Amino acid sequence: MQMNRHLIALDLDGTLLTDQKQISPYTKLVLQQAVEAGHIVVIATGRPHRASIQYYKELALDTPMVNFNGALIHHPSDKKWDSLHSPLPNRTAKKIIQTCYDLNVKNIFAEMMDSMYLDRFDQELVDVFTTPDERESITIGSLKQYLLEDDPTSLLIHPEDYQVDDLRQYLNDHHASMVEHRNWGVPWNVIEIVRKGINKAVGLKKIAHYFHIPAERIIAFGDEDNDLEMIDYAGVGVAMDNAIMELKRIAAYHTATNEQDGIGGFLSDYLKLEIAPLTTKSSLT
């Protein structure tokens, strides 16, 4: 099996995790069986390290992890691993923040390596962007006032719905050479901004090279537009049934939803793992 081992990349929200932000027992069992069979499982998420490490530990992983959509590629349990952090240039971040002030967007959230800044208190955003253990460490107050001394890993902009197109057009017109931006879309519009050239595929390529896994033996699962490059790069790119249409169009395979053990069903079939199905499984289509 070692000669034909696969690298399995897992997006978290809407993919590995159920709508209750849990890993289902069946999918967890399949992933554990895949690891025992010699395959390599990694997490590739837009979340920061602190909001994904619990799932890394739950799966008992000992592999590198992709956070912030590729802006941070590191190994949580091996500090000697050649990690890569690619934050936004501080000067660019400040210009974007000023434009957000000019447009009077609802809110701005800045992610640093180990800290968080929220422009205006909003309990719903705090609940979405952070875990309960993190909430005491958020600095809340004007991002113009704090002026972010360090380069932020990412900016999350929460505009009014009617501002989304204008704000993304501004980013294209004035910062296209410096930033990438994505729109979350659900449950509300959030524009995520990271350094130019950064995406999950960058992280996946680095990890695949480290383990000497060719692209054709990379299995990647995703559901949103921040998964596009990763799904396109992987030889076995898999879109969840709950994925956006653009992702489904480029994916080589489709599977069941995150609520229906889409990952567990697909891997059990594709890797021919001998595990009795507990829920609806996917078909290889």
Active site (catalytic) residues? 11
Per-residue CA distances from 179 to 58, 62, 91, 255 (Å)? 33, 31, 12, 32
Q: How many whole angstroms separate alpha carbon 68 and alpha carbon 44?
A: 9
Give residues with Cβ within 8 angstroms of 198, minimum separation 6.
Answer: 68, 69, 70, 71, 86, 180
Q: Is-contact 11 223, C-beta < 8 A?
A: yes
Q: What are phi and psi of 255, to 5 degrees?
A: -140, 180
Cα–chain-centroid distance for residue 234?
15
Listed residue (149, 160, 148, 151) closest to 117, CA to CA: 148
Output helix, strand, coil percentages for the chain, rounded to the nearest 5: 40, 20, 40
* E strand or H helix at 117: strand 116-118
Q: Is-contact 171 193, C-beta < 8 A?
A: yes
